[in-house]
């Protein structure tokens, strides 16, 4: 094949076009759900290319961006909000670079996203990982373990602050006022990538606003902006804006997409004028769907009743399990037979991200699909595998030291006793099993193989299945 023929293909572009022609029912990110949550102006534009601009004088973009960020801050209760075009990852890493002094000790809830580990590396921070509670019947993280946090604070009074995730990927949220009191004057940085709407959904006191010094939202996940957008909010009692801005400047692009920036502004307007009310108004439909699914033979639905008394479940997340099928098998059945695409599958469970602008007919289609599958498998015995619960491995080297140390790749089966030089995490949701500087042990190795055996995706391993370790 000559070079000219080879370049007639555009594999990724063509794959996107194929999928867009028959996308199925989206119960996944982005939260606009194939445009349903976008303002009409986006859907009526015949061509978006005219919006793909850069920092030109005629656009008068600087005052417009400043006003747009101020309006976002008013909506989300912040002193200042920064628009992000590199996702919540940009906000987390930028905040860590800006507010924590290099070399300082920082408490990190272990169910953090891999982006937090990258922030530890770039900012040269010493992490003290805080254990998280788990739901034994689901194998899911349920929030920070309060006793572990108290012990970490007692053992490390020098800690500059805490980085934690709330709510979890599956929507489990915890009240933040008790954690704020434990931290006293230390910095509280919350990864609220999957939150920001809880107060609009009847869960006041679970949002980061009012407790966090800084919080980061992945607005594309449910708030309706385009993929790769997010917001970093700074509280009135938070760190100096100049420090936060400095951290963001270190990692941010100098040519942000104005289409992405505009989608943040548009999503804020939509939420303020209409969308946030929909989160409360359409809760009965979600509650009814969950109750009906729970009555199906062999179907389990995650509910508040399985959580600690002070925790709550985001009503716009749906987590189910079905007797006789792994989460991966159920996901394949839903998409292959019914055109329904969930967000995520692992172990026994499948997670769906819903949005209030989805219509009742779409929820009914999901119910009927699960009902059809349950008629075939629901009478089987409950043999669900709820996945592997990983302990926190011992930290041998600081993450930065391990990440930049001379390294070599070894087969994963032979890696026990070595020190990880990379982050290894099932994705989604991106919670690390191993972080740079940690001792690799047999339970982590076997757990990773089990995730692969079930059909999961693991990031951080070499293409041949090896793992990068610090060279001895």
What pLDDT sits at residue 390?
85
Domain that holds residue 49: 44-276
Is 346 found in the same domain as 206? no
What pLDDT sits at residue 332?
93
Is 129 found in the same domain as 51? yes
> What's the whole-number mean pLDDT along residues 15-29?
93
pLDDT in tens, 74-115: 999 999 999 999 999 999 999 999 999 999 999 999 999 999
> What's the whole-number mean pLDDT along residues 58-66?
94
Is 446 found in the same domain as 302? no
Distance CA 441, CA 444 (A): 6
What pLDDT sits at residue 455?
81
Is 150 found in the same domain as 208? yes
Write down the residue that tokens 């070079």 correspond to.
Answer: 3
pLDDT in tens, 374-409: 998 766 656 555 666 789 999 999 999 999 999 999
Distance CA 374, CA 368 (A): 10
Domain contains 84? yes
Is 407 found in the same domain as 324? no
Domain contains 25? no
> What's the whole-number mean pLDDT along residues 220-242?
96
pLDDT in tens, 426-463: 888 889 999 999 999 999 999 999 888 888 889 999 99
pLDDT in tens, 288-326: 999 999 999 999 999 999 999 899 999 999 999 998 888
- The CATH number linked to 102 is 3.40.640.10
> What's the whole-number mean pLDDT along residues 141-153?
96
What pLDDT sits at residue 84?
98
Is 183 found in the same domain as 86? yes
Q: What is the 3-state secondary structure (H, E, C) of the chain?
A: CCHHHHCCCCHHHHHHHHHHHCCCEEECCCCCCCCCCCCHHHHHCCCHHHHCCCCCHHHCHHHHHHHHHHHHHHHHCCCEEEEECCHHHHHHHHHHHHHCCCCCEEEEECCCCHHHHHHHHHHCCEEEEECEEEECCCCEEEEECHHHHHHHHHHCCCCCEEEEECCCCCCEECCCHHHHHHHCCCEEEEECCCCCCCHHHCCCCCCCCCCCCEEEECHHHHCCCCCCCEEEEECCCCCCHHHHHHHHHHHCCCCCCHHHHHHHHHHHHHHHHHHHHHHHHCHHHHHHHHHHHHCCCCEEECCHHHCCCCCEECCCEEEEEECCECHHHHHHHHHHHHCEEECEEECCEEEEECCCCCCHHHHHHHHHHHHHHHHHHCCCCCCCCCCCCCCCCCECCCHHHHHHCCEEEEEHHHCCCCEECCCEEECCCCCCCECCCEECCHHHHHHHHHHHHHCCCEECCCCCCEEEEECC
Is 434 found in the same domain as 300? no
What pLDDT sits at residue 383?
53
pLDDT tier, 250 (very low <50, low <70, confident <90, very high otherwise): very high
Is 267 found in the same domain as 206? yes
- The CATH number linked to 336 is 3.90.1150.150
- The CATH number linked to 451 is 3.90.105.10
Domain contains 164? yes
Domain contains 242? yes
What pLDDT sits at residue 138?
87
Q: Taking 70 as the threshold, does the pLDDT of residue 124 lie above it?
A: yes
pLDDT in tens, 325-368: 889 999 999 999 999 999 999 888 999 999 999 999 999 999 99
70-107 core/surface letters (b: 16 or more CB in 10 A; e: else): eebbeebbbebbbbbbbbbbbbbbbbbbbbbeeeebbb
pLDDT tier, 2 (very low <50, low <70, confident <90, very high otherwise): low
Q: Taking 80 as the threshold, does the pLDDT of residue 256 lie above it?
A: yes
What pLDDT sits at residue 447?
92
Domain contains 4? no
What pLDDT sits at residue 170?
95
What pLDDT sits at residue 380?
61
Is 77 found in the same domain as 51? yes
Count of domains observed in the chain: 3
Is 441 found in the same domain as 406? yes
**Residue that finishes a domain, picked among 251, 276, 301:** 276
What pLDDT sits at residue 378?
60
**Residue that finishes a domain, picked among 249, 276, 303:** 276
Contact 211, 58 (CB under 8 A): no
What pLDDT sits at residue 384?
56
Domain contains 263? yes
Domain contains 231? yes
pLDDT in tens, 180-195: 999 999 999 999 999 9
Q: Bigger pLDDT: 171 or 429?
A: 171
What pLDDT sits at residue 386?
60
pLDDT tier, 260 (very low <50, low <70, confident <90, very high otherwise): very high
**Residue that finishes a domain, picked among 248, 276, 304:** 276
Domain contains 255? yes
Is 113 found in the same domain as 261? yes
Q: What is the mean pLDDT of the chain?
A: 94
Is 312 found in the same domain as 261? no
């Amino acid at each position: 094949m000559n070079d000219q023929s080879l370049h007639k293909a555009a594999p990724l572009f063509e794959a996107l076009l194929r999928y867009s022609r028959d996308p199925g029912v989206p119960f996944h990110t982005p939260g606009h759900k194939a445009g349903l949550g976008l303002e009409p102006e986006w859907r009526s534009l015949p061509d978006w290319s005219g919006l793909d601009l850069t920092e030109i004088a005629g656009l008068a973009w600087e005052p417009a961006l400043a006003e747009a960020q101020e309006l976002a801050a008013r909506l989300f209760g912040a002193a200042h909000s920064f628009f992000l075009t590199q996702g919540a990852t940009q906000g987390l890493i930028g905040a860590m670079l800006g507010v924590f002094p290099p070399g300082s000790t920082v408490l990190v809830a272990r169910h953090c996203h891999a982006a937090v580990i990258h922030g530890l590396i770039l900012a040269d921070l010493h992490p003290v990982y805080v254990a998280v509670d788990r739901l034994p019947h689901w194998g899911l993280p349920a929030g920070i373990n309060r006793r572990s946090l108290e012990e970490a604070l007692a053992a490390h009074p020098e800690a500059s602050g805490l980085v934690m995730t709330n709510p979890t990927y599956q929507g489990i949220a915890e009240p933040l006022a008790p954690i704020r009191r434990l931290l006293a004057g230390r910095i509280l940085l919350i990864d609220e990538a999957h939150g920001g709407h809880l107060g609009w959904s009847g869960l006041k006191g679970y949002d980061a606003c009012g407790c966090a010094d800084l919080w980061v939202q992945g607005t594309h996940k449910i708030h309706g902006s385009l993929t790769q957008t997010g917001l970093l909010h700074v509280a009135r009692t938070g760190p100096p804006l100049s420090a936060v801005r400095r951290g963001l400047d270190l990692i941010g692009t100098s040519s942000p997409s104005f289409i992405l920036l505009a989608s943040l502004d548009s999503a804020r307007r939509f939420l303020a004028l209409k969308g946030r009310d929909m989160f409360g108004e359409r809760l009965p439909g979600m509650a009814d769907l969950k109750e009906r699914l729970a009555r199906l033979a062999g179907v389990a639905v995650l509910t508040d009743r399985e959580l600690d008394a002070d925790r709550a479940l985001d009503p716009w997340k749906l987590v189910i399990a079905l007797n006789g099928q792994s989460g991966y098998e159920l996901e394949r059945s839903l998409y292959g037979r019914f055109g329904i695409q969930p967000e995520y599958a692992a172990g026994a469970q499948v997670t769906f991200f819903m949005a209030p602008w989805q219509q009742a007919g779409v929820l009914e289609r999901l119910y009927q699909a699960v009902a059809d599958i349950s008629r075939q498998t629901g009478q089987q015995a409950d043999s669900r595998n709820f996945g592997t619960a990983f302990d926190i491995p011992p930290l041998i080297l600081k993450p930065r030291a391990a990440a930049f140390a001379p390294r070599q790749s070894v087969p994963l089966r032979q890696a026990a006793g070595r020190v990880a030089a990379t982050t290894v995490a099932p994705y989604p949701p991106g919670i690390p099993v191993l972080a740079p500087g940690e001792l690799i042990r047999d339970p982590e190795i076997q757990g990773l193989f089990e995730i692969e055996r079930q059909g999961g995706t693991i990031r951080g391993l070499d293409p041949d299945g090896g793992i990068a370790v610090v060279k001895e």
